[in-house]
């Protein structure tokens, strides 16, 4: 990392954590993911208890009486991870909305972009800082599932796949938010766009009735949620990673392009 990029990265971190929104978002995300995880854990335990009770009342305890589909993956990790992806969608625009828009509104971009700093360096520092924040959010939220994994039959590698998926998903959603923030100096507009775009692309099945089969098929390949679901099942697929990587590159390209475009306005 170049000296300038490192300096910018530290500046972005300082700015991010000087704002209460980072702490509010982090706290809300960890609290919500924790509460919902324990709700699912409780429901899963109840379900196990019901099956076990029936087995006991039927004449004796037998673990085999619990149906195969009732397992920690289906009853706990997949629903909890779906919740987590929704929480990411809900809170990330609050983090990304200010990243470029605030700089532009306060005019500090003028200060930075007249110091021989390249627009790609500025955009890269902002993107990396936001991705680090996404990583931090997920790392803290991983404590509860990690504790359960240690006690369950699910392997740690499954949890890893799940969180690799979350990280890719979170970074893709953040990249969309950052691209939106780079297009405007209004944080409100940036937030509205950052909610609207993932909301539209999360799932295209609602368009199927009005589209031809071929087009609906193509769109379904572009849906955000579909790419996350395989990670939730514990499978890391290269094409899913490429999809999230593509979103990140697209978001970054839009950010750099908007900085260059502003110069030529």
Region of residue 6 (phi > 0: left; psi between -120 and 50: alpha; otherwise: beta): alpha
Site for other proteins in 188-207 (CB under 8 A): none
* Radius of gyration in angstroms for the set of CA atoms belonging to the chain, rounded to a whole number: 22
Nearer to other proteins, 97 or 193 (CB): 97
Size of the site for other proteins (CB under 8 A): 26
| Shortest distance (Å) from residue 260 CB to other proteins | 10
Q: Does 11 bind other proteins (CB under 8 A)?
A: yes
| Shortest distance (Å) from residue 155 CB to other proteins | 44
Q: Where are the alpha helices (DSSP H) in the chain?
A: 3-18, 20-57, 72, 78-106, 108-112, 119-141, 143-151, 156-182, 187-201, 213-222, 224-232, 238-263
Nearer to other proteins, 117 or 201 (CB): 117
What is the C-alpha separation between 104 and 185, in angstroms, rounded? 5
| Shortest distance (Å) from residue 95 CB to other proteins | 16
Q: Does 108 bind other proteins (CB under 8 A)?
A: yes
Q: Does 118 bind other proteins (CB under 8 A)?
A: yes
Cβ atoms of 34 and 144 within 8 Å: the answer is yes
What is the C-alpha separation between 193 and 188, in angstroms, rounded? 9
Nearer to other proteins, 117 or 236 (CB): 117
What is the C-alpha separation between 229 and 36, in angstroms, rounded? 18
Cβ atoms of 201 and 120 within 8 Å: the answer is no
Q: Does 68 bind other proteins (CB under 8 A)?
A: no
Q: Does 265 bind other proteins (CB under 8 A)?
A: yes
Q: Does 263 bind other proteins (CB under 8 A)?
A: yes
Q: What are 107's two structure tokens?
A: 């005019």
| Shortest distance (Å) from residue 122 CB to other proteins | 10
The footprint of other proteins (CB under 8 A) covers: 3-4, 6-8, 10-11, 14-15, 18-19, 106-108, 110-118, 263-265
């Amino acid at each position: 990392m170049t000296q300038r990029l490192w300096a910018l990265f530290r500046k972005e971190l300082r700015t991010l954590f000087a704002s209460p929104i980072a702490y509010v978002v982090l706290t809300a995300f960890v609290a919500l993911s924790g509460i919902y995880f324990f709700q699912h854990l409780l429901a899963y335990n109840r379900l196990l208890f019901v099956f076990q009770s029936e087995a006991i009342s039927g004449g004796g305890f037998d673990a085999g009486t619990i149906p195969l589909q009732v397992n920690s993956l289906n009853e706990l990790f997949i629903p909890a991870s779906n919740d987590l992806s929704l929480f990411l969608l809900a809170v990330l625009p609050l983090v990304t909305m200010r990243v470029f828009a605030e700089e532009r509104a306060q005019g500090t971009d003028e200060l930075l972009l007249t110091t021989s700093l390249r627009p790609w360096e500025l955009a890269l520092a902002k993107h990396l800082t936001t991705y680090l924040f996404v990583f931090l959010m997920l790392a803290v939220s991983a404590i509860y599932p990690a504790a359960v994994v240690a006690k369950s039959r699910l392997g740690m590698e499954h949890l890893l796949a799940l969180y690799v998926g979350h990280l890719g998903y979170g970074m893709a959603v953040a990249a969309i938010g950052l691209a939106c923030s780079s297009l405007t100096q209004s944080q409100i507009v940036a937030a509205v766009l950052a909610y609207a775009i993932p909301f539209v692309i999360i799932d295209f099945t609602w368009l199927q009735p009005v589209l031809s089969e071929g087009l609906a098929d193509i769109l379904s390949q572009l849906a955000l949620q579909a790419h996350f679901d395989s990670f939730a099942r514990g499978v890391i697929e290269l094409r899913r990673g490429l999809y999230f990587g593509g979103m990140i590159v697209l978001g970054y390209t839009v950010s750099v392009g908007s900085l260059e475009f502003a110069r030529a306005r």
